[in-house]
Amino acid sequence: MAKEIKTTINNKEYKIEVPPQMTLLELLREKLIMTGTKEGCGNGECGACTVLLNDKPVRSCIVLAHEIDGKEVVTIEGLKDTGDFKEIKDAFIAEDAVQCGFCTPGFVMAIKALLTRTKTPTNEEIKEALGGHLCRCTGYESIHNAVKRLVK
């Protein structure tokens, strides 16, 4: 049975009916037409669908929509007009860390979460934050270097 949830997505409050099996990714992409969050593997393994749930990065393909009841979600659409996004984007460009861009929204959300947690992450913390995010075309080193550029 569909359930009504109350949630805040990108600073906007929503009351929405969600079917029990609907994932957060489906809610974002199919119901709210927020297509910046990408669907890759669909089973929690590639990181393309990463969004922030109460400031923590989650893989939206394995979170059920009803689990966001009472919580706050930020997607790449909510970040894109902020200074943080501009800084991350500039670092990616400077380090040649984007090719097709499919994986990029997921990486950006993971980096945003990392830099909210700590302004001076160690190499290990950067590796851990980016771990499990798959990219088929850009070297992982350039993405790692983009994060290091941000913390210099």
- Residues lying near ligand FES in the complex (CB under 6 A) are found at 39-42, 44-49, 59, 61, 98-103, 135-138
Q: Output the CA–CA distances (angstroms, integers) from residue 66 to 51, 78, 95, 104, 128, in the order listed.
A: 15, 20, 39, 26, 28
d(CA 110, CA 129): 6
Least distance to ligand FES from the beta carbon of 38, Å?
7
Nearest distance from C-beta of residue 78 to ligand FES, angstroms: 18
- Residue 106 CB: number of other CB atoms within 10 A? 27
Which C-beta is closer to ligand FES: that of 16 or that of 146?
Answer: 146
Chain centroid, CA 104 distance in Å: 9
Closer CB to ligand FES, 5 or 97, in the complex: 97
Closest separation in Å from C-beta 110 to ligand FES = 11
Nearer of residues 25 and 79 to ligand FES, judged by Cβ:
25
Closer CB to ligand FES, residue 46 or residue 64?
46
Q: At closest approach, how far in Å is the CB of 23 from ligand FES? A: 9
Nearest distance from C-beta of residue 13 to ligand FES, angstroms: 25
Q: Which helix (H) or strand (E) holds 117?
A: helix 104-117
Pick 47 or 121: Cβ nearer ligand FES: 47
Residue 123 tokens read as 């190499």
Burial of residue 126 (number of CB atoms within 10 Å: 0-12, 13-18, 19+): buried
Reduced to 3 states (helix: H, G, I; strand: E, B; else coil), residue 96 is coil
